[in-house]
Structure 1
């Protein structure tokens, strides 16, 4: 009896533990909305009153995770192969700007729910600069990515991919689906259209095959997957693993939602009740009610009767925010900001928000009222040495370029007598302030210096060889290198840049740049080339 009482707690403990593991290992679940769902949430992730799983809330440079609370035993036996499994989820991505979003959603299988060391932005809350791609991560993920990151060799800014232990996809495809039945052609989809979409992630144990499929919400699962990759997940996934979602934002206001989710082992994921899913919120104005539809014509008539009394005030207000538009802008312009939004963002271009003054004009820090996005607005005057030609060159050159070591041009604005460029805000200012620091600014250590040097070299290589055209910066120097929140170097100020097609010879032009950084052949011939940028970079290094 004594031995029995001694062994009973041990037997009960191991019995309950095995029962829990077996239940998790063979379980399945389905969420059609998340009211009362037992999930582990961190970061910006939350369940809204409407039942939506909101992974990011529009705040920039943040991450959010949502995991099923219990681990799953995906291996049939300890040390055995990972069993077949299937996941299905309904998602939606909302963004303030029609053509810009950061960064995306990943369905993830991981050994732990702790991603405290992971970074936001392009790392999507899964990894960081040091451990991205390490086999010790034991992470499998299916990414829905709305940003093209050159360092991860992304194919575009609208793709689906299969990731192993990091954010560099082993297989990816532009977002879309293959039709069923007679029409089996590929149909493209925009991940940031604001539409609700479905996704399926399937793993076949026998074939060691991973399939990822997406489709519109009311379409049944396509028979042909969008992405199919052969990889034995038994070398990746641990004995017990957690399943869930990770998402992150960069410098642009974006919201990532999961509306429903199901999962099954050795069986298809259970069906999600599409009819009972919560609705995505609206970022714009609400639809007008019938009362508003009736009152609107009355209000318009009243407005027309009183128009004469307020005409002078309206004209003055319009002139205050008047803008210019020309034909070339439709072809080359990135997102255009209204002057009114920039005026309010900078508190009327108040000197309290002034970041710097130079030959180009003035730069102000601003916060956009709708998105709360921090920006740097460069206000160029006609008296400056950076006129219309340089303004157009900058818009054309970097308006469509995305690279982690180049300052991102978010948009622009033009009005009579003023030219404005809107950049992502770099909180740590320009590099020259750290090289020749004053006051309490710290001296950069050699690790930071090396990181910045490599980053600027990577940015120049992308401009010269990797982009669709050759871009010559023509003014590489410390004051044109800006530092982001992580002290990464980003090359900025493309107002003097020139671009031409690969394989052609750059035309001779008038000599521009900064004395002391110009190559001898540039001074002699007036012809700028990638080599003259390299010379300036080489001149810049010893001073660094």
Structure 2
């Protein structure tokens, strides 16, 4: 196959990800009209999803705005978690409940019976044509559906006659043998985890903020092959009759590839919907008088204490200035003494890596191998800015991102971060610091590129904010014991709302990976990450680092070879000899790297399209004309990539936060 034909083949693979692709999202008290569809009586109040309210004989339904892939020859696995609150209204009898469910349609017409939770009517209940699968939270004992009690969780397939059910609660205690019942209809915030894998549905319930119990409340083998369609809607449904209560969803996460997605939900400082009991003394005159006198006394005492402690407060260390919001959003704080012991006193013998102003140590913390990074800072502003950013980034959960295990701030001028230890080190060592016998094989390299691409896609599209990594390179790709790739080092990352761009006051990143438009304009968008990933692709395939300080970049060099028809000379010779991969395959991936590093950011693919190409899927040809035009105009691209010297000449050195890789 000729080089132009391969380029056309690659072009034919660019398009948005479709039904067989991953779906992942996280909502933390940020529901709005753009990320949820509302039907019937469902509303959004203060960014909280309210399925039903005080209205009688009504249905509320809320769905993710687009269909998601649920089957590809066999049902796809998924994991979802949400936080809900069910609360009664005073002087009204509560009922009935709500359901999390998959459905092929959004329509609620004809679904009138309140005890059917807005899913069916009396005729359609039990029909195999429904293609509905759900998990119900039912507070009404209905004998016609063989309900076990008026406070249970059930697994429903095309019917409210549950195939499995259990009284609401969780298993705990020694060996998970003690069952603790939970009253669903009391306004308390509860978290649910629903996992479907290997034809088994696991449903776990606990109070919000409580660690996920090891033993599921329900574990049931179910065959969903005839139930789920290729694509379906997913969401919540509830109903009221003469029995009325409110059903609220405070947070919701979903993924069909990340089984720790529930960890991303914020579970602390949530609003409370617990209804005070009628016998409360809070409104009595005696309570009000006592409260007034007590308040006056407390104010007097507080004033005296304030005078005594005011100066002491000024002398508090920076350790105490870290606010509660870090404690809420970060992984847990780790004692400095434990980290010191784990690294043998930050011994030089335990150093496993160096970064920008940092040292990374290997340690053993509570029997688990960890990587400990010490990050110096020179001002309070730098410390607070870094803490603020990491406090949010610590909420990211994806199997292709390095997990942040915890943190510590003990030493003056140093912030300490603790990550999971990656046994196989960084990708750059596997690429450039190994002999011929340990060189990564073609399949391993392609799997690593897929892993990194999926991680970047999650950063760009899979979270509530768009996260730009801005420092994607081989040394920031780490490999775990199974050689799965994980993207790490978020020290330069930036977050903003989706579909927004912003400008920076200086150029940041690593020389050889910086997009040319970023050097010229300082404009930040997801395309700068796409460019960096393209450089990584070329490094992985060609087994060459970006070139020297005053030479053209690796990207410019390969573009020059392509323009001269000499692309073959860029291949790593031993790669062809050792591996069972064709030259066509190698050229196809090189063309992917060149497409990602196109000088025009508008001509680059999105990470969603990149993942699709790496997964080898074909597309229609709707984008051929546009991308063919860009390819035809490729002459001269080799000279469009700035050298290190040009970057330093065109920018004030004080505005640069850049690294020279390998120097």
Please report the TM-score for the alignment, with normalisation by the length of structure 1: 0.47
**Higher helix proportion:** 2
TM-score by length of 2: 0.39
